[in-house]
Amino acid sequence: MNNSFPVASIADAAWYVRGGRALKTPSPFGVMGIVNLTPDSFYDGGVHHKPLAGLEHALTLLDQGADILDLGAESSRPGAVELSPDEEIQRITPVLAGLRHRAPWATVSVDTYHAATAASVLEQGAVIINDISACAFDPELLDVLVQYKPGYVLMHSQGRPEVMQHNPRYDDVRREVREFFEFNLGKLVRAGVPENRIVLDPGIGFGKVLKHNLELLAHPEDWLGFGRPVLMALSMKSVFGGLLNLAPAQRGPATIAATALLRSKGVFWHRVHHVAEARQGLAVATAFSAAGQ
């Protein structure tokens, strides 16, 4: 890895997934491509929710250089309605089957907080669980993590999606997110989840208003200090709408700019809708940082 980034970021590539495999990327950054299998996502809901469309979109993201595919069957936008595990599994299974056939080498993550969904998709070949709840919405998810030992995205949020933007409050958002990571990292490891499976996501837009989001984005060093990889999921989010008065479909350039800036501050993993464009921005940030040494 390029030594132009902060020392804490050098460990960011050491993310292990189910089977004990360390994720390795061809570049000094990692890109997680979003595959929304939902009819109601805030950005591209309904575009890829049918199995064939979802599979083709996933394959396109792989062609563009996605290191991980993140499949999501339930929208987590503010106000979203919860799906049952059976509904989630029904949406995800055909795409997983297609990927096993057409791209068996792909590293697949599934965005879920349901224990039953997580167990099912891990049996079907997924190797990462991306959980917005820190095992709070379905406590049995922790048992699944201990049993299967997948990669795991530990994300901060305040409240469930249907109510999380109803006047979120913090005394000190940076301190409270740090304390959340400290507590939940310890909880997971004590339960039997290997620490090398865990990455940290501060949960931009999840129970946070613009001021909270900007404070967190300005200080990624708060989580790099935990010695675990950091995943930023900014793509097309309301923070850019609040800053620039843009509709979701107009937020692509702002997403790329923020993604590149965060890489220059040491954040390794980035969850995005537009993989090719994100990789360009990340490559520019890498080159500028290296040239400045």
* Structural domains for the chain: 7-291 (3.20.20.20)
Average pLDDT of 67-82?
A: 83
- Choosing from 178, 197, 237, 251, the catalytic residue is 237
Three-class SS state of 155: strand
- Check residues 209 and 44 and name the one with the higher pLDDT: 209
Residue whose C-alpha is closest to residue 129's, from 68, 184, 53? 68
Average pLDDT of 231-257?
A: 93
Ranges 2-16, 215-229, 267-281: which has the least confidence: 2-16
Bridge partner list, 33:
69, 272
Give me the pLDDT at residue 2, please: 41
> In this model, does residue 78 exceed pLDDT 90?
no
- Check residues 13 and 57 and name the one with the higher pLDDT: 57
Q: Verify whether residue 237 is a known catalytic residue.
A: yes
Average pLDDT of 146-161?
A: 92
| pTM score, whole prediction | 0.91
pLDDT band, residue 141 (cuts 50/70/90): very high
Give me the pLDDT at residue 116, please: 98
**Residue 90 identity (one-letter amino acid):** Q
> In this model, does residue 44 exceed pLDDT 70?
no
Average pLDDT of 44-58?
A: 76
Measured CA to CA in angstroms, residue 244 lies from 87, 173, 204, 210 at distances of: 36, 22, 16, 11
Give me the pLDDT at residue 46, please: 57
Please give the helix or strand (H or E) that residue 253 lies within, else none. Answer: helix 252-264
Give me the pLDDT at residue 34, please: 96
Q: Verify whether residue 208 is a known catalytic residue.
A: no
**Residue 261 identity (one-letter amino acid):** L
Strand locations in the chain (E): 16-17, 21-22, 30-36, 68-72, 108-111, 128-131, 151-155, 198-201, 231-232, 269-272
pLDDT band, residue 259 (cuts 50/70/90): very high
Angstrom distance (rounded) from CA 93 to CA 151: 19
CA 224 to chain centroid, in Å, comes to: 16
Residue whose C-alpha is closest to residue 268's, from 280, 256, 259, 258? 259
pLDDT band, residue 260 (cuts 50/70/90): very high
- Choosing from 197, 208, 271, 279, the catalytic residue is 271
pLDDT band, residue 47 (cuts 50/70/90): low
Measured CA to CA in angstroms, residue 189 lies from 109, 171, 183, 291 at distances of: 20, 28, 10, 39
Which residues does 38 contact at the CB level (< 8 Å), separation at least 6? Answer: 45, 46, 49, 72, 73, 74, 75, 91
> In this model, does residue 288 exceed pLDDT 60?
yes
Q: Could you report the per-residue pLDDT of 1-28, keeping only the tens digit for each?
A: 344 444 344 444 589 999 999 999 989 9
Q: Could you report the per-residue pLDDT of 115-137, keeping only the tens digit for each?
A: 999 999 999 999 999 999 999 99
Residue 126 has which token pair? 């997924």
Give me the pLDDT at residue 4, please: 44
Strand pairing report for 16-17 and 21-22: antiparallel
Ranges 58-62, 79-83, 136-140: which has the least confidence: 79-83
- Give just the sign of the alpha carbon dihedral 140, 142, 147, 153: positive
> In this model, does residue 110 exceed pLDDT 50?
yes
